Each structure stands twice: as C-alpha cells, then as structure tokens.
Structure 1
Amino acid sequence: MTKIFDYEYLTTRQLKGFDSYKYNCIDNSPLSVYVSHPFWNWLVQFYPLTWVPNVITLVGWALVMFGFVLESYLDYDISRNSDGALNPIPDWFWLVAALCTFLGHTLDGTDGKQSRRIGAGGPTGELFDHGLDSWSTVPFTITIFSIFGRGHFSISCLELLCVLISTQIVFFATHWEKYNTGIMFLSWAYDLSQYGLVIVYLWTYFVGYKWFHFMLPGGFVNFAFAFQIGFYACCALSLVASAYNISVAEKLKHNTFLAAFRPAWPVLTLFGSSIFWGAYSPGNVLDIDPRCFFFCMGTVFSNVACRLIIAQMSNSIAEIFNFALTIYIFAIGLAFQFPNFELSILRISTILITLIHVHYGVCVVRQLCRHFKIEALSVSYLEKRKAKN
C-alpha cells in the first residue's frame, strides 16, 4: 500500500534547494504581536514534549474541515438560512463552528512553536502547515456565508465564488511575494479574519441568523453584500502590501517581470475558468451544487499553491503545468460538450482531483521525510539521534 505513495514528485534540484532553506517570516500585525503570539507562547508551555508538531497541524486542520463537513451535512446547498426558511441551521452548529475555528487557529499558531521547542523544526513541517492552510480557504469562506442562506438577504453563488477567489488571492499573494523576495510577510488580514469568524459565529449562536438579514440604509444593498465588499477590500490591501514589499526589497530572486509573474499563470487560469464555468454553465451547475463546485475549485487551488510553496522553499522555478488544473479544465470542456451530464462531470472530477491532490501531498511529505531522515507524524527519530550522539 505504501508503494502507492512512494512516487517522487520532487526533483533532485528541488531537494538540494530544501537543504539550504531557512525560514524567514515577519508577522507584525498588532493583533498577532499583542494578542496571538503572547497567548500561543504561554499555551505551548503546557504541551507535552511528546506532542508531534505535524499532528498538531493536522488536528487543527481537521477541526476546521470537520466544521465544514458538518455544515455540509446540515445545509448542503447553502439554503437553510434563506429568508423565510422554516428549517434553518440549528443554533448549536454556530457554537461548534466557533470552537472549531478558534481551536484550529490556535493549533495552527502553536505547531511551529512546539517544533522549535522540541527541536523538530524544518522545511517539511512548514510545507505541511502551509499546504493544509491553502486547502482551508474553502471552509473559511463558505461556512461564514452559509449564515445568509440564499435569496433576498444573501449574495448569488457566483458572487460567493468571487469572494472565495478573493480569499485565495490573499493566500497566494503572500507566497508569491516570498517567491520573489525570500521573506514571508504574513497578511494582517489572516489573524483578524480568524477572530472575526469566531465572533460572528458566537454572535449568530446567541442572537440567531436573522439578525444578519437586513438592508443597509437606503435599501439598495443588504448586509451580505457589504460583508462581501469587506473581503474584496482585504484582498486589495493584501495585493497592495505585497506589491509594495516587492518594490522595496533589497534583492529580488527573479529579476525579470516574466520570471517574477510566472507563478500567477496557473491561478489566473483557475480563477478565470471557474468564473466562466460558473457564469455560463449550460446546466447552472454552480447553483445546483455550489458546495461541490467550491470544493473542487478549492482543491485545485490548494494543489497549485502547494507547488508554489515548494518552488519558493526550494529556490526553484515555479511550475506552470499542473495535472489537477488540467483535469479541471478538461472537465469544464466536457461539461459544455455534454451539458446533460454536467453535474456528474463536476462530481466525478471533484473526486478525481481530490485523490490527485492527496496523493501529491502524501508523496511529497514522504519524499522529504526520506530525504531528511525524519518522520512526519512521530518524533521518535529525535531520541534516536540523541542516542547516536
């Protein structure tokens, strides 16, 4: 069984690049400096030394995904909280969502601190962490907008797709910037968004989802639309910040515009084709099964983002070709060619792309573990090293 996951995606050149990789990150948002990091530094002292950093990362991600899967079961087509609904999402779910988000964010913030605390730090853990983070853009976005349902007090599924893309742009811009400068400036929006999600979920639990169903003064737009604009504003500010950091960098790793812009081609292709499919779908598949559509697109994004992260960590050239993206584009072509089978094409391609992405992730982590002679989900190798020394 393990032979299935022994495929070597990383080249010899990339592995050598990982050997010389040094973590270089700046997280200077006031919320991180004065709230998050002091709390995490205090909390991690109580972690047993046997707790594996990558397991902490995985559990945190699993909690976020659990909230998404649970909400998918309760409200698959994102409609239970629509105006006039007789059977809305149970209030208890929003308490669960708040807990999952807070614990997921906390574990995501303490995994690196635990790795440095026990001497297990390295590029494998960082890739594991950020790779899973790239997949979390879907639950973070879709779950919060489920509060609004559909219809009069919500936004359209196509607009929600654009909101998801704006979230993914924030994530991509951070790593694209590091690809060019070698320094990761964490977006101020990330910490703020996590605490914001927890507050909104708790507020929904205590006062109910109908509190969010209102029109802004003038009666032209609803609150959900304003909420949407907030996402776009964060996206725009992140892009401006990344562009500024690149422009003032003392030294760029890629000196030509085409080389620096190279990582953007796959994501631009993904975003453009997704919007096109959602807008012109012959069977209106985005409205029929939005959750599957978002998850499929988000999984392709995660695969593209992981390859960018590998490129910037290994100091190699970003890949333009992506197999998962190719399958996605092919599925879109099939959907327009055979409109009667569009929904089946979407669902089958989602399964296939998810399997491709999981295979890629597991194989890459295993390959790095073999290269560095470590274990991904155990720290027993640290004791063996100490015994040898």
Structure 2
Amino acid sequence: MGIFDYEYLNKEQIKGFNSYKYSCVDTSPLAVYISHPFWNWLVQFYPRTWVPNVLTLVGWGFVMGGFVLESFLDYDITRNSFGTADPIPSWFWLLAAVCTFLGHTLDGTDGKQARRIGASGPTGELFDHGLDSWSTVPFTITIFSIFGHGLYSISGVHLLCVLISTQIVFFTTHWEKYNTGVLYLSWGYDASQFGLMFIYVFTYFVGYEWFQFFVFGKWNIAACMEIGFYACCAGSLVMSLKNVMECKNWKQKKTGWKAAARLSQFTRFFLASVAWATKSPNSIVDVDPRMFFFCMGTVYSNITCRLIIAQMSNTICDIYNLTLLIYLSVIGYSFYQPAHELFVLRISTVAILLLHIHYGVCVVRQLCRNFKIYALDVSYLKNAQK
C-alpha cells in the first residue's frame, strides 16, 4: 500500500456511501434570484472536459491563495493599524475581491457541471464541503485584516470568537443534515460572499482609513461587524433548531444520544481554543495570530469532515480525532512549559496540516476506488458509456 492508500473509512461507512442520496434546500433570496441564475447561465459555456472536482479545488485555491498572499504582506495582522506608515497595498483588496468572486463562482458551479456531464456523486460532495470547512479561516481573517490591530480593530480573542461563530454556522448546517437528511443551506453564505466582495472593492477605492472611526461611543466598525457575525450565527442556530424540531423523519432517532455525545468534541475544541487565547502565558493569539488561527481552523476542518462523512454514510460520528488530541495536548503543554509555547504551536501546525491532508487524500482515494471513478479526471465517463 502507498502512503495515500490508508483506508480511514470502515465497511459500514462505505456501505452508507453506496446508498447515499443528495438532498438540499436553498431558499436564500440572493441565491435564488442572483447566484443560481448566473451559475446556470455560466456553466453552459464550460467545456464538458472540465472536471467538477478540479473546479472545486481551483475555487478553494483562489480563496486560500489570497489568504496566503496576505500572510506574506501582513503576517501579524498589524499593517493597517491606526497611524501606520506602511499599510497593505490597495491593489491587494481588489485582488481579494476577484479571488472571492472566483472562489464563490467555482464553488457554485462545480455541482452544476457534475450534473451536466453525469459525474455527480457523494465523492464530489464530500470533496466540496470538506474544502469549504477549511475556508472559514481565510474568509474571516482576511476581512478583519482591513482594520489592523489596536484602536479601530478588535482584539485577537474577539477575532477568534468571530471565527468560531462562522464555524458554528457551517457546522450546524451539517449537524442539521446529520439529523434530518436534508442540507438546508444558510442564508448567510451568499450574503457573506457578496458582502466580502463589496467591502474589498470599497476598500480598494476609498482606502482602509475610511473605516477608522467610532460608530457610537467606543464602538468602531470592526466591533459592529463582530456583532453582525454573532447575530447571523444566532439566526442560523434558531433556524437549524426549527428544522430539526419540525423534521418528521429524524435519521438519528434511535441513536440520538450517541450522536449528541459526539458534540462534545466540538465543545471541547471551542472552549479549549478560547481558553488558550485568553489565558496563554505569552498571549499567543497576538504573538502569532496567523499560525494560531490556521492551526485551529485546520483542526476544525478535520473534525467537520468526519461529521460530514458520518452524515453522508448515516453512521455515528467519530469521537476520537488525532488532530484534536494533538491540539489539546499542545495547549496543555503550553501552560506547562510557557517558554516553548510558540515553538510547539508552529511544529504542531505542520503536523496537523500533514495529517489533515493525508486524511482528506486517503478518504477521497478510498471512495474513488469504491465507486470506480477518478477524483481529478472524467475519462471514466467515456469508458462507462462504452
């Protein structure tokens, strides 16, 4: 067996994937009247040789690429702080808008292309949503980099809470499907993408200085945006609870207590992240915010991918996760040996990143072997037709 041939999925999960049927409801006005009509028109011009998973990967690459580029330009998220003499170049915000648009468009058309050429299936859905779960970090951190650090921004701890609120919305959507069997897409997704593009373009034309004022009292624009994220999170939670309560065919009815117990890993994860950020001996969230958020976001993505797999295969979600155990161990060690905190964060981030990539590649390859398809090639369709 090769390094990427390890089989993470058990027989029960594979069996569940074999009988999986996609069910989705998207009632967002922006999606219904703008996004989907545009995507339906655009996908007609795609060559039929374009692979849906490649579209997904390229779209995710634009989003993550913008985040990586900004990390080089403003690693510690301070370059746009009040009084700075060397802000982030204005061209970057126009580029960020383009990357967001392309990421959103490719993410919206990959499934349509798959259905158009007859390549749709659970592997592509898992590939798509797995990468989406990793995008919560670049979406959140990039937009708040406009405000820099200090007077007209929010603290690193508050930025972590904003990121968690974004992750909760994404997680809740899939937890809802885990119980109901239907993916009710959040209205906040399309709204956030259009909002990000607007703010990036606006910043390109007027400059980051425009955001440096207080709306009322000591509340600046960044703080108001933070409240907006929390409000969207609360609204999504209410709607998800409503959908679950109204569901007449609850998938996890017989094993509901086991499914609920699996929520504990998310609870531990979020609480541990906040505790580390607030009680860190070296204020790690301010010393190396990019690495902190990327590490945390990668662990979150790995946990969420396992939830998505359980939801799609109609099995109980894993309660143990090596990336989470490493993450929690690093937090504990940081309090035990504060002098090594930054070092262990960076080393563990590399280890967690490699583990997450290995997990994702192996799972996709295992599903491809099961369905006798290719992840990044659609030549198998011709063979199937023959």
How far has the Cα of 1:260 moved from its partner? 4.1
Q: Does 1:249 align with 2:235?
A: no
Contact 2:282-2:338 within 8 A present in 1 as well: yes
1:1-389 equivalent positions in 2, closer than 5 A: 3-217=2-216, 219-255=217-253, 258-387=257-386
Please give the root-mean-square deviation of Cα atoms over the aligned residues, in Å.
0.9
What do residues 53-97 of structure 1 show as CA deviations (whole Å, max 9, x unaligned)? 000000000000010000000000000000000000000000000
TM-score scaled by length of structure 2: 0.99
Deviation (angstroms), 1:320: 1.0
| Cα distance in 2 between the residues matched to 1:212 and 1:60 | 29
The whole-number CA distance in structure 1 between the counterparts of 2:343 and 2:166 is: 27
Separation in 2, partners of 1:193, 1:28 = 15
Q: Is the 8 A contact 1:263 1:308 kept in 2?
A: no
**Partners of 1:187 and 1:352 in 2: CA distance:** 32
Letter in structure 2 aligned against 1:298: G
Q: CA deviation at 1:220?
A: 2.3
In 1, distance between residues paired with 2:215 and 2:108? Answer: 36
Cα separation, 2, equivalents of 1:350 and 1:144: 22
Kept after mapping to 1: 8 A contact 2:160/2:293: yes
Q: Secondary structure at the match of 1:146?
A: helix
Q: Give the whole-Å Cα distance in 1 for the aligned partners of 2:378 and 2:221.
A: 48
* Shift in alpha-carbon separation, 1:26–1:350, aligned structure 2, 3 A: same
CA distance in 2, matches of 1:88, 1:155: 17
- CA distance, structure 1, for counterparts of residue 181 and residue 263 of structure 2: 17
The CA deviation string for residues 137-191 of structure 1, in whole angstroms up to 9 with x for no partner, is 0000000000000000000000000000000000000000000000010000000
| Deviation, structure 1 residue 277 | 0.5
Tell me how far apart the structure 2 counterparts of residues 318 and 367 of structure 1 sit (CA, whole Å).
Answer: 18
Give 1:263 deviation, angstroms: 3.6
Specify the code of the residue in structure 2 equivalent to 1:311.
A
CA distance in 2, matches of 1:220, 1:294: 26
The percentage of aligned residue pairs carrying the same residue is 66
CA distance in 2, matches of 1:340, 1:80: 27
Distance 2:218 2:289 in 1: 26
Residue identity matched to 2:249 = K
Distance in 1 (alpha carbons) for counterparts of 2:260 and 2:144: 32
- Superposed displacement of residue 385, structure 1: 0.9
The answer for unaligned runs of 5 or more in structure 1 is none
TM-score of the superposition, structure 1-length normalised?
A: 0.98
Aligned partner letter, 2:8: Y
Give ranges in structure 2 of 5+ residues lacking alignment.
Answer: none
CA distances 1:205-245 after superposition (whole Å, capped 9, x unpaired): 0000011111013x221111001000000000000000000
- Structure 1 stretches of 4+ moved >4 Å: none
- Deviation by residue 1:263-297 (Cα, 9 ceiling, x = unmatched): 42111111000000011111111110011000000
Report the Cα distance in structure 1 between the residues aligned to 2:116 and 2:265, rounded to whole angstroms: 37
**Which one-letter code corresponds to 1:98 in the other structure?**
A
- Return 109-118 or 253-262, whichever deviates more: 253-262
Query: In 2, distance between residues paired with 1:380 and 1:94?
Result: 39
Structure 2 counterpart SS, 1:3: coil
CA distance in 2, matches of 1:283, 1:150: 17
Distance (Å, rounded) in 1 between the aligned partners of 2:266 and 2:199:
30
Q: Which 10-residue stretch deviates more, 137-146 or 281-290? A: 281-290
